[in-house]
Amino acid sequence: MIAPSILSADFARLADELEAVEGSDWVHVDVMDAHFVPNLTLGLPVVEALLKVTDIPMDCHLMIDDPDRWAVGYAEAGAYNVTVHAEAAADPVKIARDLRAAGAKAGLSIKPGTPLDPWVPALKHYDTLLVMSVEPGFGGQSFMADVLGKVRTARRLVDTGHLNVLVEIDGGINSDTIELAAEAGVDCFVAGSAVYNADDPAKAITALRDRAARAKEGA
């Protein structure tokens, strides 16, 4: 699965930029509040507007303080998957239940320096694990390969039936790094500049998907 990140899109032409990635599995929307992370992007009103102009399932990644208060609004608006950060959640199990009750898939994200093991019990209530392969807050950063150990652990837990989550990765994914991530066991790849900086975003998505599939076959 490929989820283009509109953080790398032209914010003045977001409807057109969504149309350019029609072949994607999800569209990834980074919500940043300038508190949990140092950057400020967009919020619920923009997400509500985007949901009116695309049928691509929307994957909302909330890099915000107090997701316990704000996350459900994105689910109620119609986001397909809503991801909160483990480091910001006061009650991650309750958030997961509330998101699911509101009709969305529930995702839990961990930053590069956050260990996976303490969050495994909470992840039993989630649909998606988002492993950050850059520090959250800004696009265009370099891929941090040392997070792939957490991906491999999560893959084992899924394959052995201890977890039932889709394993997603976000940060520095391009035509080179996607193979490493695929071999480690990632299911869904968030790609920003690798898609939106390409001459043909649709072709870039297809190429990334093909590279990931080949890497998984050889893993």
E strands along 64-199, which residues? Answer: 81-85, 105-110, 128-132, 166-170, 188-191
Distance separating alpha carbons of residues 88 and 162, to the nearest angstrom: 24
Q: In angstroms, what CA-CA distances link 189 with 2, 161, 168?
A: 5, 22, 6
Q: How many CB atoms lie within 10 A of CB 192?
A: 24
Catalytic site residues?
A: 30, 170
Helix axes 67-77, 92-101, angle to 10 degrees: 20
DSSP H or E run through 4: strand 2-4
Residue 40: beta bridge partners? 33
Torsion angle of the four alpha carbons 199, 29, 205, 219, in this order, in degrees rounded to the nearest 10: 140
